[in-house]
């Protein structure tokens, strides 16, 4: 047999096999699709034309038209929700149309209150002692601890100024008098509802070589 003829026969056989495989594959793909298409179309036609007639003929019409308890409860809930939403929308509309907006006033500057809380109020000015003709020198190391401030009474306006005793000054010379050495006592400011405490007077110390 001619080799060229054999090659042609082999080529034709391969082409026929390929064609038949393609045909078989297309048929296997189209048959399920065709069956589903026919079923869906037939069911659609049956629903549109004969379903209602079959239902009404097989069952009692009164039973079919009766509403179930679950559907009635759901329908009542939907109606109540609709009414509540309708009333809420009406109230919101009344508020938005009838309410007038007033701008808020500017904030109050209360920084002075904070400053007054941080800094204590100044004490009333007291009268200073009159200056002596001869300055007295007091050693700083001999000053004792300050006495406790007495608590004010319920009717007093402010606590009284405490009297702070100090050490005795050095003895003056014999030429100075006792009045110059002691000077005038300090004046305690008067209070509106409480009498000022009395300032005790100290006797002058004995001067050596001087008769009392």
Is the dihedral angle over the CA atoms 136, 140, 143, 145 positive or is it negative? positive
Helices (H) and strands (E) in the chain, counts: 6, 0
Helix 3-49 crosses helix 51-58 at what angle (to 10 degrees)?
50
In the chain, domain spans: 1-65, 67-97
Query: Token pair of 188, please?
Result: 């305690």
Q: For residue 10, what pLDDT is reported?
A: 93
Identify whether the C-beta of residue 167 lies closer than 8 Å to the C-beta of residue 139: yes
> Which helix (H) or strand (E) covers residue 28, if one does?
helix 3-49
Identify whether the C-beta of residue 188 lies closer than 8 Å to the C-beta of residue 128: no
Q: For residue 102, what pLDDT is reported?
A: 77
CA atoms within 13 A on the CB side of 151: 2
Identify whether the C-beta of residue 132 lies closer than 8 Å to the C-beta of residue 180: yes
Q: What is the pLDDT along the chain (212 residues), one digit of tens a residue?
A: 688 889 999 999 999 999 999 999 999 999 999 999 999 999 999 999 888 888 777 767 777 778 888 999 999 999 999 999 999 999 998 887 766 767 778 888 878 887 777 665 555 555 455 444 444 555 444 455 555 555 545 444 555 555 555 555 555 554 444 445 555 566 666 666 666 667 677 766 666 665 55
Identify whether the C-beta of residue 126 lies closer than 8 Å to the C-beta of residue 186: yes
CA distance 79 to 72: 11
The total number of residues shown for the chain amounts to 212
| This prediction's pTM | 0.26
CA distance 51 to 44: 10
Query: Token pair of 165, please?
Result: 């005793």
Of 149, 182, 179, 144, nearest to 163 by C-alpha is: 149
């Amino acid at each position: 047999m001619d080799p060229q003829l054999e090659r042609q026969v082999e080529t034709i056989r391969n082409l026929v096999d390929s064609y038949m495989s393609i045909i078989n594959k297309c048929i296997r793909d189209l048959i399920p699709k065709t069956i589903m298409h026919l079923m869906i179309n037939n069911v659609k036609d049956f629903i549109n034309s004969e379903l209602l007639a079959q239902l009404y003929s097989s069952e009692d019409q009164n039973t079919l038209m009766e509403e179930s308890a679950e559907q009635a409860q759901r329908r009542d809930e939907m109606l109540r929700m609709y009414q509540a939403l309708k009333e809420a929308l009406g109230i919101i509309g009344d508020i938005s149309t009838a309410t007038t907006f007033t701008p808020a006033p500017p904030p109050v500057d209360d920084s002075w209150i904070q400053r007054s809380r941080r800094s204590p109020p100044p004490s009333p000015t007291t009268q200073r002692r009159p200056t002596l003709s001869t300055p007295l020198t007091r050693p700083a190391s001999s000053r004792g601890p300050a006495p406790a401030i007495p608590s004010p009474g319920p009717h007093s306006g402010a606590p009284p100024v405490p009297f702070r005793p100090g050490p005795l000054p050095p003895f003056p010379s014999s030429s100075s008098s006792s009045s110059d050495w002691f000077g005038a006592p300090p004046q305690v400011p008067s209070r509106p509802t409480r009498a000022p405490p009395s300032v005790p007077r100290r006797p002058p110390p004995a001067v050596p070589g001087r008769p009392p």
